Structure 1
Amino acid sequence: MRGPVRWVLWDIKDTLLKVRRSVGEQYYCESVRAGLKLLPTQLETAFRQAYLQHVQLYPNYGITQGMNSQVWWTQVVKNTFSQCGVQDTALLDTLASNLYQNFCGPENWEVFPDSNSVLKSCSALGVKQGVVSNFDSRLEGVLQGCGLLTHFSFLLTSEGAGIRGYLLDRQGHQEHLDVPPQHRLQSLDELPTRLQQETD
């Protein structure tokens, strides 16, 4: 016999919030402010390569390598612009700092139209709500700025908890290219071996 639902645990990105404009467009706007002549498509391609490389080399924001999300994202941004020919270290520092701060608040995030109403409805039903997400330490500020924070009893991020996720892709669709191969499973039978490799 099932009891009543007491908790709803939410992911954030692409569930309750989405990035307002593409990464290429946002990096482009920052590059224009810096006087650079780059294309959004060029920046988007470079970002995807830099992001994938960092996810593979330094999973979970590089926590096990002594990094944090700010250091991790700073390296991704610098790598992105370096691929586009920007070599001035002071300029790379400025671009990285500005872009990290740009994603700390609500300006670059858009709340889906149904998010507020469903969160309010769940609260009205007496259901407690929490967040379990592969977000970084900026999550609380983002949710506060977007007017969603009061709905949640707790926030658990992969950076704060050291969570490592695995994508179960039984059909081998390879749709989520941002997930490195060592974090992909085609069968749950692979999980014990992967966990053993992580602890060795």
Structure 2
Amino acid sequence: MLRLKVLTFDVNNTLIKVRNSVGQQYAQVASHFAVKVNADELGKAYRALYKEQNKKRPNFGAESGITSEQWWGEIVHKSFQQVGYTEENTLAKISAKLYEDYKHASSWHVFPEVKEMLKFLNKNGVCLGVISNMDERLIPILQETDLAQHFAFILPSIQAKCHKPDPKIFQQVLDRLRIPAADCAHIGDNIEKDYYGAKGVGMNAFVIDRDKTARQQHNDIPKEQFLQDLTELETKIFQEIK
């Protein structure tokens, strides 16, 4: 008998991950335009600028009057500028290609167990959905990676007009489905955004912890709430009939 009727998933680092590091990806695209940069330095610049941009203009600029492509373009331009490349016309071309490339499956790696586990959950009558802090490319990404077909709904934060861990993004799903939070669980890799965000509206929650590091750092979360991979969901969603 099903214990949980609805499962929602984070995407990045839960179902899929970037195929190469961002620094490598950026440097590789730059090489198509005869631009040579250090991938490690570029990656370091990107990580700092991403955090800064997320704080300054959260949710991909949804409330800042800019498009997500402009939002990412600012990060790309500043990342290259910090490692010494400043030619604006070429940076615009690099930025446009990167934005387009990340729509496609070639930029992403699907974790090995994901497709079979989603099929298993579909077969057993579990309603599946996505709640992810991503821009409008989320749906084409899931289509290209052959995952979209498994989900009844896909909610990117840019469409929701709010982002995890804001409880409003989880509540939107509960309101649409008209289902008690106790019948749902959210699965993601981020403790604050995924685990506590979902728990904040009364949902169950599990942390995907593929390298077993998160469970060592968070003694406040019961060990049974951590999953090494999605196959462990099988024992979580059913309950014995007594």
1:114 aligns with 2:110: no
> Following TM superposition, by how much is the alpha carbon of 1:20 offset from its aligned partner in structure 2, in angstroms?
0.5
Retained in 1: the 8 A contact 2:110–2:145?
yes
Summarize deviations over 1:123-171 as a string: whole Å, max 9, x none. Answer: 010111110110110011111111111001111111111123349xxxx
Residue 119 of structure 1 aligns to which amino acid in structure 2?
L
How many pairs align? 171
For the residues of structure 2 that align with 1:136 and 1:72, how far apart are their CA atoms?
Answer: 10
> Following TM superposition, by how much is the alpha carbon of 1:7 offset from its aligned partner in structure 2, in angstroms?
1.1
For the residues of structure 1 that align with 2:3 and 2:36, how far apart are their CA atoms?
Answer: 57
Summarize deviations over 1:39-95 as a string: whole Å, max 9, x none. Answer: 111111111122111111111111111122211111111111111222211111001
Pairing 1:4-23 to 2, within 5 Å after superposition? 4-23=3-22
Residue 56 of structure 2 aligns to which amino acid in structure 1?
L
For the residues of structure 1 that align with 2:146 and 2:92, how far apart are their CA atoms?
Answer: 31
For the residues of structure 2 that align with 1:77 and 1:100, how far apart are their CA atoms?
Answer: 10
Residue 80 of structure 1 aligns to which amino acid in structure 2?
S
| Distance change (3 Å), C-alpha of 1:28 and 1:3 | closer
1:129 aligns with 2:128: yes
| Distance change (3 Å), C-alpha of 1:73 and 1:12 | same
Residue 11 of structure 1 aligns to which amino acid in structure 2?
D
Retained in 2: the 8 A contact 1:68–1:159?
no
Residue 10 of structure 1 aligns to which amino acid in structure 2?
F
Task: Provide the residue aligned with 2:83 in structure 1.
Answer: 84
1:54 aligns with 2:83: no
For the residues of structure 2 that align with 1:30 and 1:47, how far apart are their CA atoms?
Answer: 15
For the residues of structure 2 that align with 1:111 and 1:93, how far apart are their CA atoms?
Answer: 29
| Distance change (3 Å), C-alpha of 1:159 and 1:116 | same
Pairing 1:48-197 to 2, within 5 Å after superposition? 48-166=47-165
In structure 1, stretches of 5+ residues that fail to align are: 168-175, 180-184, 189-200
Retained in 2: the 8 A contact 1:157–1:163?
no
Task: Provide the residue aligned with 2:30 in structure 1.
Answer: 31
For the residues of structure 2 that align with 1:40 and 1:22, how far apart are their CA atoms?
Answer: 9
SS in 1 for 2:35: coil
Summarize deviations over 1:25-50 as a string: whole Å, max 9, x none. Answer: 10110121111221111111111122
| Distance change (3 Å), C-alpha of 1:42 and 1:154 | same
Retained in 1: the 8 A contact 2:132–2:164?
no
For the residues of structure 1 that align with 2:108 and 2:93, how far apart are their CA atoms?
Answer: 21
SS in 2 for 1:86: coil
SS in 1 for 2:37: coil
> Following TM superposition, by how much is the alpha carbon of 1:11 offset from its aligned partner in structure 2, in angstroms?
0.8
| Distance change (3 Å), C-alpha of 1:117 and 1:90 | same
For the residues of structure 1 that align with 2:11 and 2:104, how far apart are their CA atoms?
Answer: 14
Identity %: 32
> Following TM superposition, by how much is the alpha carbon of 1:3 offset from its aligned partner in structure 2, in angstroms?
7.3
For the residues of structure 2 that align with 1:16 and 1:166, how far apart are their CA atoms?
Answer: 19
For the residues of structure 2 that align with 1:119 and 1:165, how far apart are their CA atoms?
Answer: 23
For the residues of structure 2 that align with 1:140 and 1:164, how far apart are their CA atoms?
Answer: 16
TM normalised by structure 2 equals 0.66
> Following TM superposition, by how much is the alpha carbon of 1:4 offset from its aligned partner in structure 2, in angstroms?
4.0
